[in-house]
Every structure is written in C-alpha cells, then in structure tokens.
Chains A and B, each alone.
Chain A
Amino acid sequence: MGACFSMADIISVLYGKYLNVHPTAPTWKERDRFILSKGHAGACLYAALAECRFFPISNLKTHYQNGSKLSGHVSHIDIPGVEFSTGSLGHGLPVAAGMAMAALMDGHSNRVVCLLSDGECDEGSVWEAALFAAHHKLKNLVAIIDYNKIQSLASVDETLALEPFADKWSAFGWKVFEVDGHNHEEILMGLTKASDVNGPSVLLAHTTKGKGVSFMENSVLWHYRTAKDKEFDDALQELMAL
C-alpha cells in the first residue's frame, strides 16, 4: 500500500487533468499512452481507471481474488484502459520508448507517459531506454519517477544510492523537472513544461512512501503490507480527513 500512496497524487493528476484518454474509447488511436512500469502499485492504477469509468468501481472488490482479472501487478488482459502489463521492473520505459517512436514516425500527436519507481532505476534496462530516448529525441515521452527514497529492504541511499539523481538523468540527455510529488499544481506544471522540450523529459517527483497515513509513511514494512481490520479503519479515517 505504501507504494500506491506515494504515487496516488501523480496518478490523480495524470487521469484527472493531463492524459488525453476516454473511457468510452480505450483503444482510440490518438489517445495518450500511460505505462505503469512500477507494476506492483497496480491497485492505484485500477482505482483511477475505475474512477474514470473505464470499468465499474464494483470490479475493484475482485482485486487479488481467485478468478479475478485484477492481478496484484498490473495486467492489461480484459481491463480497459490498461496499456501494458508490468510487474518485473525495468520493462516499462523501453516499451514506452517504442510507443513514443511509433507515434512520431506516424505523425500522431499523442504523448507517452511512463511511471517508474526509484528502486526500479537500479535496472540497467532503464538506462538503456534512457540513452535511446535521448538519442532519438523522443519529445513525446515523459518519465515520472516516484522518488519516495525507500525500496524493498531499506532506503535507496542505503541500498544503491541514486544521488545525484537529477544529474544522472540530465547527463543521459533528459530534461529534468523536480517536483513535489504530492503537489498537484507542481506535477501538472512539470508535465506541461515537458511539451516544450525537444527531447524526453523526466519528472523527479519527490514523494513519501505511504503518504497520508501516519503509521505507513516512510516505512519499508508498508511496501509489502496491506492494512486490515483496525489498521484499515484507522488508515481510512486519516485519508478521509485530508
């Protein structure tokens, strides 16, 4: 749940204000493409798609259940609005780069957005795609890093330090926008400015894992855990008060 809450604001802005998508036409050719490369936070995407009426909100109850289509890591099969199935980290950005390239080749104006986790940037394939996107000036490609600074076993700094992270992306030829990942105006401003860049852009979204629930914030434990019983009630209470 921690991984979902750190990106909830980003997803809200994407589906609420930025992405040109339509629930009645999920395969419309000119739609913006969104790939959730940090597929383990699929629940957040499913929630947004349901809110946007890509499928009934009642379907969310089937998440993780036997016989369901809503798997723990995001799946595209029979789920309108999901562009691509992910789950193994490092896959999303190369695919997004391919989609972005196709759009430019064919003269389509749609954008491609790919949301990655910070720990995911340990994967070499992310940097292969970064090199490629900059080399080919994929100006319709935006990556967003959910930079909550915690990964599976410990903090990012303790595991495999990414700093100076902005400098790394910049050195790879990307335009970097550092934003508060929980400030909707900043997120939208960064996305909007990305349109003026003649190459790929990355939003380094500084976020808090488990944001909004005091006992989940900045906790490695809540990377894995799902709230139950009293924890669930307490969490819901805190979130409703926001």
Chain B
Amino acid sequence: MRDVFLKRLCELAARDERIMLLTGDLGFKVLDEFSSRFKGRFINVGVAEQNMAGIAAGLALEGKTVFIYSIANFPSLRCIEQIRNDVCYHQANVKILSIGSGFSYGQLGMSHHATEDITIMRALPGLRVLSPCEDWETVFCCEYSVAEQGPFHIRIDKASAPSTAKPHEVFRPEKLRRVTDGDDVSIIATGSILGEALAAADILASKGIGLRVYACHSLKPFDSAELFSAVRETQGLLTLEEHTVEGGLGGIVAEILLEEGVIPGFFQRIGLRDKFASVVGAQDYLRGHYGLTASDIVSTIEARFPISNQTRRGTCD
C-alpha cells in the first residue's frame, strides 16, 4: 500500500508543483523517485517530527500541499500538538502520511505499533482520517487527499493488500464499501485486516451464514447512512480493526448507533483491548495472538448468531 500511494503521489506531483513531501529521516529507497524527480519539493527534515509538522504548516499556509511522511506513530503522536494547534486550527493543507498501521512493523516492538492513532487523531477538529483497506483504495485515497483542501491523517500498511474492487467499480470517497453481500450479520473492517473479514465470510458461507463485509477507508467523516442500512438489514454487527477498540472504529460505530437509537441485534468490537503488544511477531502472528483473525471472527459470530433470547437482551458488547 505504501508503494502504490507513493507512485500515485509522484504522478500527481508531476502535474501539480504545489505538492511537497517532507520526511522525518525515514523512507530508505522508497522516496527516491519523488526526491529525484521533484528536487526542491522534497525535504528530509531529520529526526525532528515536531519541527516537520510546524514547517509543514508554514509551507501550507503559503500555498503548498504538504505531505509529512514517517512510520507508525512518529508523524502523528510525536507531534500531536503541532498537528492540533498549527495544522488543524489553521486548517492548513497538510496531509499526515503514516506508514505501518496496526502491526505492520510487528517485530520491531510496541514503539512501532500504530494501534491508538485512530482514537487520538479523530478527536482533532477538522482532521479527516483515512485508513484504506487495500491497494486499490489506497490509490484513490491519495488522489482524494490531494484534491481536497485541509488536513488529513492517512494511515496505511507498508505491505501490499490485494485489491477487492469489482470490475468497473467506482471509488466513492468517504463511503462504506460493501465488498460481500450477506443478510445475516454485518462486519465493518478498516485497514488491511479487511482480508481477515473476507476470509471469515468464506468460512461462514460454507456454514450457511451470510456475512456482509464492509471496507471502511474513511473513519472521519464516517458513512452513517450505510451503517444504519447495515444494522437495519442484518441481524448483528461487528467491527474489526488492528487497533484499540477504545475510540477506534468500534468506538466510532458505537457512538453513532447509540446516539441515533439504531441498535443492532448484537454488537461486538474486535480489536485490541487496553493492551500493548509485547509479544514479538510479524503482523499475521500478532493478529493471531490478539484474536483478530478470520477464525476469531467466525467463533464470535457463531457464539452470537442465530440470536437467542439470551443473546438479544442487553448485549451491546
């Protein structure tokens, strides 16, 4: 996803000389195309993320479209106040590009796990939060973030995630994308962990359970309309994220549904629960260790669906 994003960014930068890319001394080899083609529009600011965000705000207020690039939490949490005060309060045209969402850098340890950024970043007024689920969405998220004025936080996996787009499918920005049809249970996933939801759908289909899988690339703004349809048209709802459920996708969905009074037959947030990952492992291994895999989704659904009287009563999570 990182590579397709940067490739598209280069294509856009070739046509728009306002686009700049700043990095906090990361991106070995992967930023070479941008830096060599657009000298003067690429700046390695060094290991100085607060400065990077401030400089980006200054450049943006002078008319530039500025991407700030780093990995995991470095371009976000490390300089959160600069993003809040300098970027968001001024609605500066700065796009925070964080490579390595979730456990993308699993083996490197918790300092490199982006597992709380959705919660924190979505709280900042005026900051849109994108979390594409696969390569096809990533390309469009790049285009969208350039086309739209204002701050964005864009979190993407380092690795490739195969496209799930149907032939001739049109990307609809900020909309939930229904990837599989199903009328029994819905699941909304964000990020590349969508793949686990799709695998779960296959398993459940063989057991006669229809899982409707949604890909959520836009956490803020969030597509409430389609969310309500999902709840009204199926009998239960899950959310899936390689991230804490506290204020992440699970939190977003819970807030919207409860405030609107649209209550699923059952509701379950799947994600991390108040934990740092101190176990070492690659992304797949950690998903397995922390209960975020297709088989975990299947077991969760089989425990709740079909809905018994016990399941139905007061069991929002």
Contacts and interface: CB of A to CB of B under 8 A. Distances in A.
B82 interface: yes
A131 B55 CA distance: 13
B16 to A, nearest CB: 15
Interface in A149-185: none
A27 B46 CA distance: 31
B54 A91 contact: yes
Nearest to A87: B85
Given A85-B89, A88-B81, A95-B86, A129 B54 contact: yes
B54 A94 contact: yes
B50 A98 contact: no
B66 to A, nearest CB: 8
Contacts of A98: 54-62
A188 interface: no
A55 interface: no
B56 to A, nearest CB: 6
Interface string B56-94: 111111111000000000000000011001100110000
Nearest to A35: B58
Given A128-B48, A129-B51, A132-B46, A91 B85 contact: yes
Contacts of B63: 102
B79 to A, nearest CB: 9
Q: Secondary structure at chain B's binding surface: helix, strand, loop or mixed?
A: helix
A42 to B, nearest CB: 14
B51 A99 contact: no
Nearest to A135: B46
A116 interface: no
Contacts, number: 86
B58 A102 contact: yes
A97 B54 contact: yes
B45 interface: yes
Nearest to B59: A98
A225 interface: no
B172 to A, nearest CB: 33
Interface in A67-86: 76, 83-86
A96 interface: yes
A170 B76 CA distance: 31
Contact of B82 (A85, A91, A96, A131): A91
A95 B55 contact: yes
A105 interface: yes
Contacts of A132: 45-46, 48, 51, 55
A45 interface: no
Chain B CB within 10 A, most for which of A87, A95, A98: A98
B85 A94 contact: no
B261 interface: no
Interface string A100-128: 11110110000000000000000011001
A91 B64 CA distance: 19
A156 B85 CA distance: 26
A189 B54 CA distance: 29
Contact of B90 (A85, A88, A101, A129): A85
Contact of A94 (B43, B58, B62, B89): B58
B116 to A, nearest CB: 22
A121 to B, nearest CB: 14
Contacts of B51: 94, 97, 125, 128-129, 131-132
A129 B51 CA distance: 6
B40 interface: yes
A85 B62 contact: no
A101 B58 contact: yes
B301 interface: no
Interface of A: 76, 83-88, 90-91, 93-103, 105-106, 124-125, 128-129, 131-132
Interface of B: 40, 43, 45-46, 48, 50-51, 53-64, 81-82, 85-86, 89-90
Please name the 6 residue pairs, one residue from A and one from B, whose CB atoms are nearest each other, closest first. A98-B58, A94-B54, A102-B62, A128-B51, A98-B55, A128-B48
17 contacts: A85-B90, A88-B81, A93-B54, A94-B51, A98-B55, A98-B56, A98-B60, A98-B61, A99-B58, A99-B62, A102-B59, A103-B62, A105-B40, A125-B54, A128-B51, A129-B51, A132-B46
Given A95-B57, A98-B56, A106-B62, 15 more contacts: A83-B61, A84-B90, A86-B85, A90-B50, A91-B81, A95-B86, A97-B54, A98-B58, A98-B61, A99-B61, A100-B58, A102-B64, A125-B82, A128-B48, A129-B54
